[in-house]
Amino acid sequence: MALRTLTKRGRAALLSVLALALTFGFQILAPSAGQAQTSLQVNLAADAGPSNGVGLGFLYGVTGDGSQPSDALLEPLRMNAFRAGGHMTRGWIEDGYRYGSATQTILDSITAQAERFTADPYNAQYQAILSDMYGAYGGQGAGTLYPCDNGDCSNWRTFVRTVVAELRDTGLPIAYDIWNEPDISIFWERPVNGTQYFQMWDSAVQEIRATDPDAVIVGPSFAYTPDRRPDQWNTWLRHTRDAGTLPDMITNHTLGNIDDPVEVGDDTLAALSANGIAPLPLSANEYQPQNMQTANVTAWYLARFAQSDYDNAMRGNWVCCLTPNLTGLLTQSGGTWQPTGNYWVMRAYADMTGTLVQTSGQVGGTAISAAKDQANGRAVAVIGNINGYTGSANVNVTGLSAVPWLTGGGSVHVTVQRIPEQAPLGSPLVVYSQDVSASSGSVSVPLTFQNSGDAFAVYLTPADGTGSDAGQLRGTASGRCLDVPNSTATAGTQVQIWDCHSASNQQWTYSGGQLSVYSGDSRRCLDAYENRTSPGTQAIIWPCHGGTNQQWTLGSDGTVRSVQSGLCLDVSGAATANGSKVVLWTCHGGANQRWTLT
């Protein structure tokens, strides 16, 4: 369980100086007698507080100007925290310890990123790392002037005062992280918790509070957690308490093998209490070790963060820093950024909105968290095993009588996504999607971890009353079928009508409110382009994620209506020729909006 001693970005600086799908029977059945399994519990009748998406944050992983990745990839993740502040230049150090163009470049980057991420739809906390802005992010030269060298803090105070004033004047809500990982020597080449360190810390807090009293201060951003280095933490807490320089939010990193967010959060609050300090908000502003970047581990961390005392958490970045890969959730394929298994784990976790419910927590290394959300008509559970488990598990979902909005008609629709460790991964593998009886007040959902990197997401939604229907969607006006051009699986392809035939690009499955085409890794869902809700929006295919822009109702009048916008699937211009494009349009009941699934 040794913590790594060198971060990837510090190390880089020094160097520069379908698998088989799981199949179920028609009903959900428990594994056969004698089969080893992990038993997990979800109780929808027992609320456990609001679901705040703790863990939906990133350390860097976007371009310097904040423009990439695109909203199409980022919005579904509901990012709520972001941490950055440098790496385009060496900032203050490069400018010769004064305000110059290198520092301005960093400030411009922070401003551009914060303008995007602190506004709708993200409204994320932006933690600006002062030490990165200063230029001390690893690999700085041997002659570097560190803050308060020889007891002189004047230049450091000027730096802090200058950059905080510039960012204050943007009107953006910036939180300040004073020094990253001061307990690792490549970042702070002086004793941690020594006289100079506390001079640096105290003077920074004083300058920030004098320059921007409304700014949030976070720290100490130690690499080591309170349980690993209790003396280090107690010394820091006692000093900042007595000096009046406690931050507004306590930050630490959970990068060790293995730093359990639940345990570390408890230990951190206990350390505050032991030093006579009232509880403060907690931020894990780097999590998940470099050697554990797999889907199962990502799911484990997120499930544990959901049940922890943390207020937000940001994934560590091991391909740092300005590559728009969302800390490894995306990979380049065919010249574009594509989702990985880790992306789809976070995508499912982002769907855990509403109210957390009680679960079995962690059982033998397998963690599960779940939430229910009446407004979005779903309950979602995310499951991952920290040890790379293979074998069977069973999720027993109880308390269904407490959620009548989910079980109307006596049934509930259960969708199971298996999320393999794979890059790229076009979509999760839907291994089960079926209406099941909820009359007993519970359902039993078996899972099989086929590979050690597997994670799972389980969605419960209102039953559609039809189970799963499949076939061609034939347009009434044209007699032609809904068709994916050239049998492509490329995300974003607009659908059309074409002469009906038996190929897979015209075979649609309606299940759980989704209309999908193809199967396995190539499975794609009918989607409203870029979540748009205006008439004329293109109807496209996209990796299935269960969002409302991929939810449809099949009306008794033959219309296919978008749950998100209320618009109907429409052959543009009432055209009937092969290749006519399909869009969403205000419902009017015309023949070009009527379809038959046969």
Q: Are strands 355-359 and 37-50 parallel, antiparallel or unpaired?
A: antiparallel
pLDDT per residue as tens digits for the range 403-431: 999 998 889 999 899 999 999 998 888 88
- What is the pLDDT, as a whole number, of residue 389? 93
Stated pTM of the model: 0.76
280 close to 314: Cβ distance less than 8 angstroms: no
Distance between CA atoms of residues 160 and 9, nearest Å: 23
294 close to 453: Cβ distance less than 8 angstroms: yes
Top-confidence residue, 421 or 18: 421
Q: What is the DSSP letter of 340?
A: -
Distance between CA atoms of residues 320 and 326, nearest Å: 10
pLDDT per residue as tens digits for the range 195-231: 999 999 999 999 999 999 999 999 999 999 999 999 9
Query: Among residues of the chain, what percentage have pLDDT more than 70?
Result: 93
Q: What is the mean pLDDT of the chain?
A: 90
Top-confidence residue, 469 or 465: 469
Q: What is the DSSP letter of 321?
A: S
Distance between CA atoms of residues 361 and 522, nearest Å: 33
Distance between CA atoms of residues 498 and 444, nearest Å: 42
Distance between CA atoms of residues 304 and 306, nearest Å: 5
pLDDT per residue as tens digits for the range 487-543: 999 999 999 999 999 899 999 998 778 899 998 888 999 999 998 989 999 999 999
Distance between CA atoms of residues 226 and 139, nearest Å: 27
Q: Are strands 125-129 and 81-84 parallel, antiparallel or unpaired?
A: parallel
Q: Which domains does the chain have, with CATH numbers?
A: 53-350 (3.20.20.80), 355-462 (2.60.40.1180), 468-597 (2.80.10.50)
Q: Are strands 366-373 and 362-363 parallel, antiparallel or unpaired?
A: antiparallel
Compute CA distances 358 → 29, 30, 397, whole Å.
23, 22, 10
Distance between CA atoms of residues 340 and 298, nearest Å: 12
